[in-house]
């Protein structure tokens, strides 16, 4: 796919292949927990895993890590599927950790019989007190030496629903003196009298992440199980659990860790994003200000730009923050190539061309995309009354102001050279109308000497009588701080930008009347916009995806 150098995970795989691991046995998985919508951090993991699948011609499973019924919902499963597909990836098999509840239970029984697991009936508090510290060993639970019979009886009772939540847990019997705290008799099962979105009320004991993840990898015969760095210490436990069930001849999954991706000026944690949704700071998970894949999609990002972003930043061995401007750079670059140009005025000022016939309309030819010859041309109406941007006119200005001023000339894009003659103000001294004259021989593309005449500024405009009005949503960063959740003394919510959304009415050239949901455009000199899903026939809503780096009016 790309000619960049290998990342460190690819080096690990290459080394395994050189050491005789069969290429045909390579298999990967992407394992989201369906407790929220995927975000840009997940995109890195998706691109990594599915990218490996493409590079090595290996299958990639989509595995829902659904071991916590309290926080997981069907809605999230559907949203996750949709986001991965939209990014352009296909999984081999769709699996659920909950598919393995019975197998995991059976294996747990085996562990009890082998003397490697026991039921602990202490409070969570007492168990925590016995854990010790990283420098001091923990102490044994008084229940650690229960007989196999007693353990089996209790564990079966837990499964049947005989006991309330918190009364018993199943723990692996490993080593309370291990220097790795996670190896100090970790909990494998807890009682939860909660219905699960897939298994309903079949189960009231649920396996913990560590007990589930590696065994699921093993059952699916995943060769390389890639997770983020916070699981590095879990690797020893992952391997211990695998040792208990591994059979010769099978692929033995390997956990390897890579760094979490953070994005500046936002938070990438489902839990925190959920708070933004629940507190109504944003309109939903797919609000274009959210760093979710669905938010980026709704706001006009392309899957290519997100894949390129992930590929460009690559994967790292240390957690890091990537500046959001890199993501913006990528989408701007892609939209520059593919988005048709149109004219829209967002802050209108009326301009009257006094020497242009009243009622006359002329359809001027406009190029759809100078970056793409095949994009063709369209017609835009020109008439006596136009709108230009307020910012593009000043009564007086110095020589560096290349827009319109009294006595000065500019070209109207795709149209004529005009000269501002006078302006009208209201009783608050605000300019409400500019009167101009136009040079009839200066029409763009007409081939006349006047049409070639260079004037310093070019303005976009729309015909006032033909323009359609639309709602336009202008987004700014959701947080005012580059790392809102990295402050010890402050909550990330303290940095929410109160001005991250401005809703205005804009005036668009009439060709936009046919725009469909999702269509992307460059509003010339303003930025890239797309049609939001809130649009209704005759009432379009546009999102600003990203502003322009520079303008052709410079
Ligand atoms: P969150 O805290 O947002 O819920 P998570 O890691 O708990 O994140 P999962 O649904 O478990 O979310 O993640 C699925 C996969 O995506 C995991 O392999 C996880 O390590 C990876 N992942 C999650 N967040 C990031 C991130 N910011 N950068 C890279 N990979 C990530
Ligand atoms: Mg997780
Ligand atoms: Mg999580």
Q: Whose CA is nearest to atom 25 of ligand 1?
A: 41
Closest ligand to residue 227's CA: 1
Catalytic residue among 63, 254, 270, 297: 270
Whole-angstrom Cα distance, residue 34 to residue 62? 12
Q: Which ligand has its closest atom nearest to the C-alpha of 63?
A: 1
Verify whether ligand 1 is closer than 6 Å to residue 485 (CB atom): no
- The pLDDT value recorded for residue 2 is 55
Which ligand places an atom closest to the C-alpha of 50?
A: 1
CA–CA dist 278, 285 (Å, integer): 10
Q: What are the contacts of 313-319 at 24+ separation with CB within 8 A?
A: 313/44, 313/261, 314/4, 314/7, 315/7, 315/8, 315/9, 315/44, 315/48, 315/258, 315/259, 316/258, 316/259, 317/8, 317/229, 317/258, 317/259, 318/229, 318/259, 319/229, 319/259, 319/260, 319/262
Spatial separation of the C-alpha atoms in residues 168 and 354, rounded to whole Å: 87
Residue 250 neighbours by CB under 8 Å, 6+ apart: 218, 221
* Ligand 1 midpoint to CA 42 (Å): 5
SS (H, E, C) 463-487: ECCCCEEEEEEEECCCECCCCCCCC
Q: Token match 């709108």: residue?
A: 387
Q: Which of 10, 33, 236, 362 is catalytic?
A: 33
Q: Is 121 in the pocket of ligand 1 (CB under 6 A)?
A: no
Alpha-carbon gap, residue 208 to 485, rounded angstroms: 27
List all residues 6 or more positions away from 147 whose beta carbon is below 8 Å from its beta carbon. none
Which residues of the chain are modeled with pLDDT < 50? Answer: 1, 550-554
What are the beta bridge partners of residue 418? 410, 438
pLDDT score for 4: 76
The answer for residues whose C-beta is within 8 angstroms of residue 8's C-beta and 6 or more apart is 258, 315, 317
Judge whether 260 counts as a catalytic residue.
yes
CA of 186 to the centre of ligand 3 (A): 19
Task: State residue 551's pLDDT score.
Answer: 35
Q: Domains in the chain, ordered, with CATH?
A: 101-207 (3.90.800.10), 341-467 (2.40.240.10)
554: annotated active-site residue: no
H helices then E strands: how many in the chain? 13, 29
**DSSP 8-state symbol, 386:** E
Taking only the tens place, the pLDDT of each residue in 382-398 is 999 999 999 999 999 99
Ligand 1 centroid, distance to 43 Cα (angstroms): 9
The preferred substitution site among 45, 214, 232 for testing ligand 1, maximizing ligand atoms within 8 Å of CB, is: 45
5 three-state secondary structure: coil
Q: Ligand 1 in contact with 32 (CB < 6 A)?
A: yes
Q: How far, in Å, from the CA of 264 to the mean position of ligand 2?
A: 21
The CA distance from 139 to 127, in Å, is: 9
CA distance 546 to 541: 16
Q: Which of 228, 232, 316, 327 to mutate to test the pocket of ligand 1 (most atoms within 8 A of CB)?
A: 228
The answer to whether 168 touches 161, Cβ cutoff 8 Å, is no
Which residues are 348's β-sheet partners?
Answer: 389
Length of the chain: 554
| Any atom of ligand 1 within 6 Å of the Cβ of 369 | no
User: Each residue of 444-492: pLDDT tens digit?
Assistant: 989 999 989 989 899 999 999 999 999 999 999 999 999 999 999 999 9
Q: Which of 31, 41, 96 to mutate to test the pocket of ligand 1 (most atoms within 8 A of CB)?
A: 41
ipTM entry:
0.97
**Gap from CA of 271 to ligand 3 centroid (Å):** 7
Residue 24 has phi, psi (to 5 degrees) of -65, -15
Give distance in angstroms: CA of 406 to centre of ligand 3: 60
Name, in order, each residue with C-beta under 8 angstroms of 71's C-beta and a sequence gap of 6 or more: 33, 35
> And the tokens for 139?
């102490």
Q: In this structure, which residue's CA is closest to atom 18 in ligand 1?
A: 227
Active site residue 33: yes
Six-digit token string for 181:
């705290």
């Amino acid at each position: 796919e790309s000619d960049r150098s290998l990342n460190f995970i690819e080096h690990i795989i290459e080394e395994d292949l050189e050491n005789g691991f069969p290429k045909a046995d390579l298999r990967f998985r992407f394992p989201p927990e369906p407790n929220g919508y995927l975000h840009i951090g997940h995109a890195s993991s998706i691109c990594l895993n599915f990218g490996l699948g493409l590079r090595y011609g290996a299958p990639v499973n989509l595995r829902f890590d659904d071991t916590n019924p309290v926080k997981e919902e069907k809605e999230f499963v559907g949203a996750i599927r949709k986001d991965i597909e939209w990014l352009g990836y296909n999984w081999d098999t769709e699996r659920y950790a909950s598919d393995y509840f019975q197998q995991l239970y059976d294996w747990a029984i085996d562990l009890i019989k082998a003397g490697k697991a026991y039921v602990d009936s202490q409070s969570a508090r007492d168990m925590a007190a016995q854990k010790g510290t990283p420098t001091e060993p923990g102490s044994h639970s008084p229940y650690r030496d229960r007989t196999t019979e007693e353990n089996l009886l209790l564990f079966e009772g837990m499964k049947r629903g005989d006991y309330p939540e918190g009364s018993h847990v199943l723990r692996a019997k490993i080593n309370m003196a291990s220097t790795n705290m996670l190896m100090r008799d970790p909990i494998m099962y807890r009682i939860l009298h909660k219905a699960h979105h897939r298994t309903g009320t079949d189960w009231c004991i649920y396996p913990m992440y560590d007990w589930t993840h590696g065994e699921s990898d093993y059952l699916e015969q995943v060769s390389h199980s890639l997770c983020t760095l916070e699981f590095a210490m879990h690797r020893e436990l992952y391997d211990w659990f695998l040792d208990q069930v591994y059979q010769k001849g099978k692929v033995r999954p390997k956990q390897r860790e890579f760094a979490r991706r953070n994005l500046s000026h936002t938070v990438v944690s489902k839990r925190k994003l959920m708070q933004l949704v629940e507190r109504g700071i944003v309109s939903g998970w797919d609000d274009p200000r959210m760093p979710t894949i669905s938010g980026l999609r709704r706001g006009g990002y392309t899957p290519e730009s997100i894949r390129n972003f992930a590929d460009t930043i690559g994967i790292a061995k240390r957690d890091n923050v990537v500046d959001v401007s890199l993501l913006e750079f990528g989408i701007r670059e892609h939209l520059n190539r593919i988005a048709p140009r149109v004219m829209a005025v967002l802050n209108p000022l009326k301009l009257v061309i006094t020497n242009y016939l009243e009622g006359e309309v002329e359809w001027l030819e406009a190029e759809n995309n100078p970056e793409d010859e095949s994009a063709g041309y369209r017609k835009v109406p020109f008439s006596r009354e136009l709108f230009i941007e307020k910012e593009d006119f000043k009564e007086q200005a110095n020589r560096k102001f290349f827009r319109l001023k009294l006595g000065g000339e500019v070209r109207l894009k795709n149209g004529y050279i005009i000269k501002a003659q006078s302006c009208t103000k209201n009783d608050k001294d605000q300019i409400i109308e500019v009167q101009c004259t136009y040079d009839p021989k200066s029409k763009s593309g007409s081939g006349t000497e006047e049409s070639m005449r260079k004037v310093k500024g070019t303005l976009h405009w729309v015909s006032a009588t033909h323009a359609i009005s639309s709602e336009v949503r202008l987004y700014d960063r959701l947080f005012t701080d580059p790392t809102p959740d990295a402050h010890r003394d402050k909550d990330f919510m303290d940095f929410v930008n109160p001005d991250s959304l401005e809703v205005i009415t804009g005036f668009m050239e009439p060709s936009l009347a046919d725009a469909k949901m999702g269509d992307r455009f460059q509003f010339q000199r303003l930025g890239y916009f797309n049609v939001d899903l809130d649009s209704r026939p005759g009432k379009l809503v546009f999102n600003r995806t990203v502003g322009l780096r520079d303008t052709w009016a410079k």
